[in-house]
Amino acid sequence: MKADYIDKYRQIGLKIAYYRKLRGYTQEELAEKVNRTPAFIGHVEAPNISKAVSLDTLFEISKTLDVPAYKFLMFEEDL
């Protein structure tokens, strides 16, 4: 992961956590639905850990949470 994008990945993770909780899923439930480990989801969502997410995984999460993928890619500094 490029250092320039760490903040963007952090924002993606926080949005995933937000929508996951909004839908009433635990990290374990989301992980099972997108074929990842709970630890992976935990690392993606943790604001103090930088974990990259592939587009395939982001699209799976988007579909599972019923949230358009573009919503995860709208960043504060772009608004």
Model pLDDT for residues 15-64, shown as the tens digit of each residue: 999 999 999 999 999 999 999 999 999 999 998 888 899 999 999 999 99
Which domain covers residue 21, as residue numbers? 3-78
**SS3 letters across the chain:** CCHHHHHHHHHHHHHHHHHHHHCCCCHHHHHHHCCCCHHHHHHHHCCCCCCCCCHHHHHHHHHHHCCCHHHHHCCHHHC
Confidence grade of residue 76 (pLDDT, cut at 50, 70, 90):
confident
Domain count, the chain: 1
* CATH number of the domain that residue 46 is part of: 1.10.260.40
pTM of the model: 0.92
